[in-house]
Amino acid sequence: MDLRYTEQDQAFRSEVREWLEENVPRKKLETLDEKKAWHRKLYEAGYLGMGWPSEYGGRDARPMEQAIVGEEMVRARAPAPVNGLGISIVGPTLIHHGTEEQNQRHIQKILTAEEIWCQLYSEPNAGSDLASLQCRADIDGDEFVVNGQKVWTSGAHNSDWGLMLARTDRNAPKHQGISCILVDMSSPGVEVRPLKQLSGSQEFSEVFFSDVRVPADNLIGELNTGWRIAQTTLSYERGGNTLSRYTRMQESFNRLLDVVGIVKRDGAALIDSPHIRWRLGKVYADMEILRYSSLRILSRLERGERPGPEASIAKLHYSELDKAIQEVFLDILGPYGQQIEGIPDHIALEPDTDPFEPGSWAYAFAWSRAGTIYAGSSEIQKNILGERVLGLPKEVRADRVQATAQQASSSGNGDD
């Protein structure tokens, strides 16, 4: 065991920090063009897609270097890259499963944000049970014809392309009739309707597909192997950058420490209340555990191991912890914690925050409710841990019972 950062890591961190100090935009990014320009700047500095092979514009960076960039971006309050899903999900999926032609066509443009991507997975009736999705892609000559609806699609309104899971064989068992397809969002028949979220902000959409024609060349991997491909992309999502999530929590905690030293309740500074001290101590302890376990994951990634089902522990942990922490923050802050406009500067999480924009205590609280739902809900993570790590038998599920019964009746025997 050696939990020190190497000299190489430390040198890299100072380099990143210096670059961010000089380059983080001083004013808020308003337009899509401004956001794309910032994304491109990050890429040109070598801080996006850094783990990708150099032939695709990456720099084969170590997981630790990626984590350092993630942490330093949080510390510098740098805006997130606008093509986040392109970088975190689509790029790695293409690199692992795409054809050379697909990769040449898209990867560079993902890195430069010339193409903004979204993930067309969830449907109204396929959330946690993603494999029950119904959006169809029927083969017609050398094209797919796509019909159906996707929902909760982050960033769809800005996206040029979407990574879609669609049903390509309606007779196969549900996991075996799904394909992964690249869809040009400007195709005729694609309609994006933005949805307003609980947070008040508008990051995601419903997307409707009516006879959308997609070239058959846009298939990723083999026909009907989309589920397996999606499994790997979901684990990128879960393996994710937990260290930067810790850093974000720590930044908020440190800000809260400033606030509790100043703000009084019932005549005494909040920090003087033993109840509040106890809760602050507990929250910090819980946050530290996330840091330690993030370092443990990073150490495994550094050794070249891919995130496996254990990544579900990290996902479950940080998302549930974020909910718990935000609850404590709001308890301590009283009504200030829920204020979205007009909050005094000495209490605000970040100055100059607009209502329904990131940067207020209330917004962070609202978003903590999303973390245990997206990228596999907490309940799904616990199933994964129970079945794939602890080896517990699968539950009796109505869809499996039905599939077995159908198979039995169609094959004319009840042996199965």
Partner 1 sequence: MKFDFSEDQVMLRNLIREFLTDQCPGSHVREMIESETGFDREIYRQFVQLGILPFPEQYGGGDLGMVEQAIILEEMGRIPYPGPYFATVMLAGSALQLSNDENAMARFLPDASNGDLIMTLAFTEDDTGWTADAISAEAALNGESVTLNGRKRFVPFADAADIILTVARTPGTSGQDGVSIIAIPADAEGVSTGKEMMFDVTSRTATVEFTNVSVPVENIIGEAGAAWPVLEHVIRRAAVAASAEMLGASRRSMEMANEYAKERKQFGQFIGQFQAVKHMLAEMLEKVENGHAAVYYAAWALDADAPDAALAASVAKSTMNTSSRKVCGDSIQVMGGIGFTWEHDLHFFFKRAKNLEVLYGDVDHHYDQVLNEVLAGRVAGAGD
Q: State which of residues 28, 282, 346, 400 lies at the interface with partner 1 (CB under 8 A).
A: 282
Q: Are 66 and 51 in contact (CB under 8 A)?
A: yes
Q: State which of residues 17, 59, 105, 255 lies at the interface with partner 1 (CB under 8 A).
A: 17
Q: Which residues are catalytic?
A: 237
Q: Cα dist. 10→19, 230, 246, 300, 302 in Å?
A: 14, 35, 19, 19, 16
Per-residue x/- track, 376-405, partner 1 (CB under 8 A): ---x-xxx-xxx-xxxxxxxx---------
Does 231 interact with partner 1 (rule: CB under 8 A)?
Answer: no
Dist CA 141 CA 216 (whole Å): 8
Q: State which of residues 23, 187, 299, 338 lies at the interface with partner 1 (CB under 8 A).
A: 299
Smallest distance, Å, CB 276 to partner 1? 10
The sign of the dihedral angle between the CA atoms of 365, 370, 375, 378 is positive
Smallest distance, Å, CB 61 to partner 1? 14
DSSP secondary structure letters along 49-72: STTS-GGGT-----HHHHHHHHHH
Q: State which of residues 280, 325, 333, 370 lies at the interface with partner 1 (CB under 8 A).
A: 280
Residue 151 has φ and ψ, to the nearest 5°, of -150, 165
Q: Is 239 helix (H, G, I), strand (E, B) or coil?
A: helix
Contacts (CB under 8 A) with partner 1, residues 329-348: none
Q: Cα dist. 367→259, 297, 316, 327 in Å?
A: 21, 24, 15, 12
DSSP secondary structure letters along 73-105: HHHTTPPPPTTHHIIIIIHHHHHHH--HHHHHH
Neighbours of 20 (CB within 10 A): 19
Does 13 interact with partner 1 (rule: CB under 8 A)?
Answer: yes
Dist CA 281 CA 320 (whole Å): 18
Q: Which stretch binds partner 1 (CB under 8 A): 167-175, 191-199, 290-298, 399-407?
A: 290-298
Smallest distance, Å, CB 218 to partner 1? 37
Dist CA 374 CA 371 (whole Å): 6
Smallest distance, Å, CB 81 to partner 1? 21
- Closer CB to partner 1, 126 or 298, in the complex: 298
Q: State which of residues 39, 157, 245, 317 lies at the interface with partner 1 (CB under 8 A).
A: 317
- Closer CB to partner 1, 83 or 247, in the complex: 247
The token pair that represents 100 in the structure block: 């050379």
Smallest distance, Å, CB 176 to partner 1? 23
Contacts (CB under 8 A) with partner 1, residues 146-185: none
Smallest distance, Å, CB 278 to partner 1? 5
Q: What radius of gyration do the chain's Cα atoms show?
A: 23
Q: Is 148 helix (H, G, I), strand (E, B) or coil?
A: strand
Q: State which of residues 292, 346, 402, 406 lies at the interface with partner 1 (CB under 8 A).
A: 292
Does 198 interact with partner 1 (rule: CB under 8 A)?
Answer: no
- Closer CB to partner 1, 139 or 403, in the complex: 403
Does 257 interact with partner 1 (rule: CB under 8 A)?
Answer: yes
Contacts (CB under 8 A) with partner 1, residues 233-252: 247
Dist CA 145 CA 147 (whole Å): 7
Q: State which of residues 73, 185, 230, 313 lies at the interface with partner 1 (CB under 8 A).
A: 313
Where do runs of H (alpha helix) occur along 123-241?
226-239
Smallest distance, Å, CB 372 to partner 1? 13
Does 6 interact with partner 1 (rule: CB under 8 A)?
Answer: yes
Task: Determine the Cα angle at 190 with ends 142 and 168, to 5°.
Answer: 45
Q: List residues binding partner 1 (CB under 8 A).
A: 1-6, 9-10, 13-14, 17, 64, 71, 75, 247, 257, 277-278, 280-282, 284-286, 288-289, 291-293, 295-296, 298-300, 302-303, 310, 313, 316-317, 379, 381-383, 385-387, 389-396
